[in-house]
């Protein structure tokens, strides 16, 4: 009926339990005593939807140039970057323009005709919906002699 446990095994188990419990308590105390981020909500990620041909990296780099990059944060209705402070609605409009000017790498073709940029001010996630339309793209041959 009773399990036979040696005294040294019991002491080791008790010490392990105390170590785990004290680690949990220390983690909770560190979390509870931490101050709130005074800077604001950092830009935590960019989600891109709807692109078929234009690479995600090209779109992300252009959106990063408009201010939505790591290191930037949202403080109220202002996007604060390392270089400047921009009202959030103006930064969203700039990001939409930058996305529309994204080209297919190696060409001058800009197939993105519309972009919708949404920013979640609570989490810092930027969502971009892209519409590509190749029927409106003008492709010219600029190579001489061909």
- Which range of residues forms the domain containing residue 114? 41-132
**pLDDT score, position 35:** 57
Total tally of structural domains belonging to the chain: 1
Task: Check if the beta carbon of residue 69 is closer than 8 Å to that of residue 76.
Answer: no
What is the H or E stretch that residue 129 is in?
strand 125-132
Mean pLDDT, residues 39-50 taken together = 89
Residue 100 domain-assigned? yes
Residue 19 domain-assigned? no
Instruction: Work out the mean pLDDT of the chain and round it to a whole number.
Output: 87
Residue 2 domain-assigned? no
% of the chain surpassing 70 pLDDT: 92
Q: Distance (Å, rounded) from C-alpha 47 to C-alpha 60?
A: 9
**pLDDT score, position 129:** 96
Residue 7 domain-assigned? no
**pLDDT score, position 41:** 87
**pLDDT score, position 145:** 63
**pLDDT score, position 125:** 92
pTM: 0.68
Return the ∠ at Cα 127 (arms to 124 and 130), rounded to 5°.
160
Q: Distance (Å, rounded) from C-alpha 73 to C-alpha 79?
A: 6
Strands 45-49 and 125-132: parallel
Flag whether pLDDT at 146 surpasses 60.
Answer: no
Strands 73-75 and 41-42: antiparallel
Give the CATH number of the domain where residue 113 resides: 3.10.20
Residue 34 domain-assigned? no
Flag whether pLDDT at 23 surpasses 60.
Answer: yes
Q: Distance (Å, rounded) from C-alpha 94 to C-alpha 51?
A: 19
Residue 122 domain-assigned? yes
Give the number of other Cβ atoms within 10 Å of residue 93's Cβ.
Answer: 14
Flag whether pLDDT at 65 surpasses 80.
Answer: yes
Contacts 24+ apart (CB under 8 A), 123-127: 123/41, 123/44, 124/41, 124/42, 124/43, 124/44, 124/45, 124/73, 124/74, 125/44, 125/45, 125/46, 125/47, 126/43, 126/45, 126/46, 126/47, 126/63, 126/68, 126/95, 127/46, 127/47, 127/49
Residue 67 domain-assigned? yes
Residue 82 domain-assigned? yes
**pLDDT score, position 34:** 62
């Amino acid at each position: 009926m009773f399990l036979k446990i040696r005294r040294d095994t019991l002491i080791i188990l008790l010490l392990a339990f105390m170590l785990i419990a004290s680690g949990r308590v220390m983690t909770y105390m560190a979390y509870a005593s931490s101050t709130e981020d005074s800077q604001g909500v950092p830009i935590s990620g960019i989600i891109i939807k709807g692109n078929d041909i234009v690479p995600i990296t090209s779109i992300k780099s252009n959106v990063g140039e408009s201010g939505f990059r790591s290191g930037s944060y949202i403080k109220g209705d202002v996007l604060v970057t390392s270089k400047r402070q921009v009202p959030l609605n103006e930064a969203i409009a700039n990001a939409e323009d930058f996305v529309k000017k994204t080209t297919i790498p190696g060409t001058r073709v800009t197939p993105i005709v519309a972009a919708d940029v949404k920013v979640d001010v609570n989490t810092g996630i930027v969502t971009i919906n892209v519409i590509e339309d190749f029927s409106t793209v003008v492709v010219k041959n600029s190579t001489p002699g061909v």
